[in-house]
Structure 1
Amino acid sequence: MELSLHRLRMLRELHRRGTVTAAANALHYSASAVSQQLAQLERDVGVQLFERLGRRVQLTELGTLLAEHAEEILESVGRATHALENAQDGLSARLTAGVWASVASGLLPAALTALAADHPGIEVRTRELAPEETAGAVRDGTLDFSFVIDYSDYPMPWDPALAREVVAVERLHAAVPTGVLPDPAVSLNELAEHPWVLAGPRSHFGRAVRIACQQQGFEPKIAHEVEEQATALAMVGSGLGVTLVSDLGLSLLPPGVDIVALTEPVMRRVSIAYRAKGTPRPSVRLVIEAVRAAAAEKGLGASSTLP
């Protein structure tokens, strides 16, 4: 009997999440693809792993047993990978990272270029996720590491199974239609009467901005609720409202937008998260160092505290 690690990972997610759809979403596959791979796993082992209850798939007793062993197997594979990296003189590794748009455009190009020059054996692949989803994907083993954020007024709840290291600290700025605000700096209060273009309150960014506004005594008037920062900035450039944008988000700036400093600083800290068992893999450590260097070159040097 040969066990596919790929299929065992799918089995583990089904055991954790309870449905094929939830497992597929966590692994970024279609539900039908996961179903097909699980059916093949059942054929591989030659015993019944699943039973149908209406439209749901449930693990049998043997399926649960294999899923529990899958946890141990996949953890062992991770430890073996770590050990092999430590034993190599010339490091070779393939990593999958969770990113979002401003990190992918503002930090990664310089960091990965430098990493490739110094350590050509390390290959980093990226997967774009919402910032609030990336930490969970690291915990579940879908990603090797991810970028996460904390705002000065709204820190992200943290999972003790993960470790994180700060790589950059950003300031948020007001993004307004060209010519709307002539002053070089503005308080959040001065934006209270403007229409806003902002992500929804379930997103970490959308919630953080709402909290910052509430602390200044007002609720932003949301005219357009959009999740993508590039979309929000394009709408600001068309005169449809104002928003906030981070230092790294300035790389997404379209025509028609003025950037105005905030008199009350709103900051956010960008960190890299990885699984907390033992020390980070040598390849992940080198990525962290490369990203920190890229951030420092942009004047966004890491700090362990926020104002």
Structure 2
Amino acid sequence: MELSLHRLRLLRELRRRGTVTAAAAALHYTASAVSQQLAQLERDVGAKLIERLGRRVQLTELGMLLTDHAEEILKSVERATMALKEAQEGVTARLTAGVWASVASGLLPFALSALAAEHPGIEVRTRELAPEDTAAAVRDGSLDFSFVIEYSDYPMPWDPALTKVVIAVERMHAAVPEGWVPAGSVRMIELAEHPWVLAGPRSHFGRAVRLACQRHGFEPRIEHEVGEQATALAMVGAGLGVTLVSDLGLSLRPAGVDIVALTEPVMRTVSIAHRTSSANRPSLQLVIEAVRAAAAEQGLGAAAPLP
């Protein structure tokens, strides 16, 4: 019996996702292609691995057994691949990172410039994703590492297959149209009287800000729901409402926007997530050090805890 690593990876993703469609989407295949490959795996094994339950599927006992072994096999292959790369390349490597707008504009350019000066053999490519999607892309192998966020009002569950390294701690600020808040600071409850420009409740940011408002006794009156921070700030500059913005997001601030301190702190951490099996990869560690140094130079060092 010969087991295909590719098919084992599909079987593992099927157990994680629960449906062929979700597994296919996560690995960027069609559902038909995944079904065909899983059917071939059953023929390779000579046993039924999957049972259909309506629109979902369930692994048989043999399917669960094989998936448990697939986890160990795939981890071993990844470790062997990394070891070979390190032996052959030293600190010459190409890494793909998941980013979002404020990290890409406010932090990464400084870090990558310093990295290129000291370690020109390390190439970092970036892919912009929604913050909610970056960790999953690392786990699935689409990215080598990604930036992830966690808010003081909205702690996130964590995947044990991933390691999280905190690289920056940011303070959130009120972003208001010019002249709306004449004081140098404002209480969250004082923002209740204004219309809001905010991301949807399914996003980490949108959910965290809603929870922060609720903690201070009000539901924000959201008149404009937008996903991009730069878009939200442009709408604030046009006098359409208020929002919150992080330290790194200040680099996206347009004309016509006042930044006002919040008297009650709302904080968030920015971390780098990578597969635990990649923890000893020298190039990855050098990237992490460069990003942490860039954050520290901007006063966003990781020493400060979330309140």
| TM-score strictly above 0.5 | yes
Quote the residue 2:285 is aligned against: 285
Query: How big is each residue's C-alpha offset from its partner over 1:196-242, in whole Å with a ceiling of 9 and x where there is no partner?
Result: 11112222111211222122221111112222212211221221110
Quote the residue 1:80 is aligned against: 80
CA apart distance, 1:167: 0.6
- Do residues 193 (structure 1) and 193 (structure 2) align? yes
Distance 1:43 1:158 in 2: 33
1:259 alignment partner, SS class: strand
- Do residues 252 (structure 1) and 255 (structure 2) align? no
CA apart distance, 1:255: 2.5
Aligned-CA RMSD value: 3.2
Whether contact under 8 Å (1:185, 1:262) holds in the other structure is yes
CA apart distance, 1:85: 4.7
Amino acid at match of 1:152: S
Distance 1:21 1:269 in 2: 33
Quote the residue 1:263 is aligned against: 263
Whether contact under 8 Å (1:139, 1:162) holds in the other structure is yes
CA apart distance, 1:244: 0.2
Query: How big is each residue's C-alpha offset from its partner over 1:79-127, in whole Å with a ceiling of 9 and x where there is no partner?
Result: 0133235535731223222222111221112212222232233222223
1:132 alignment partner, SS class: coil
TM-score with structure 1 length normalisation?
Answer: 0.83
Amino acid at match of 2:285: R
CA apart distance, 1:130: 2.3
Distance 1:256 1:270 in 2: 27
Whether contact under 8 Å (1:85, 1:282) holds in the other structure is no
Q: 1:18 and 1:189, CA in 2 relative to 1: closer, same or farther beyond 3 A? A: closer
Query: How big is each residue's C-alpha offset from its partner over 1:278-306, in whole Å with a ceiling of 9 and x where there is no partner?
Result: 84422211111010111122221122512
Distance 2:12 2:171 in 1: 40
Whether contact under 8 Å (2:20, 2:35) holds in the other structure is no
TM-score with structure 2 length normalisation?
Answer: 0.83
Instruction: After TM superposition, list the pairs within 5 Å mapping 1:223-242 onto structure 2.
Output: 223-242=223-242
Amino acid at match of 2:301: G
Distance 2:69 2:251 in 1: 46
Whether contact under 8 Å (1:274, 1:280) holds in the other structure is no
Q: 1:188 and 1:56, CA in 2 relative to 1: closer, same or farther beyond 3 A? A: closer
**Which has the larger displacement, 86-95 or 141-150?**
86-95
Instruction: After TM superposition, list the pairs within 5 Å mapping 1:42-191 onto structure 2.
Output: 70-87=70-87, 90-191=90-191
Distance 2:157 2:41 in 1: 40
> Structure 1 vs Structure 2: percent identity of aligned residues?
75
Distance 1:160 1:44 in 2: 27
CA apart distance, 1:41: 8.6
Matched pairs, number: 304
What runs of 5+ residues in structure 1 fail to find an aligned partner?
none
CA apart distance, 1:5: 5.8
Distance 1:251 1:278 in 2: 32
Whether contact under 8 Å (2:75, 2:277) holds in the other structure is no
Q: 1:112 and 1:240, CA in 2 relative to 1: closer, same or farther beyond 3 A? A: same
Amino acid at match of 2:229: Q
1:157 alignment partner, SS class: coil
Quote the residue 1:303 is aligned against: 303
CA apart distance, 1:37: 7.1
1:131 alignment partner, SS class: coil
Quote the residue 2:243 is aligned against: 243
Whether contact under 8 Å (2:268, 2:306) holds in the other structure is yes
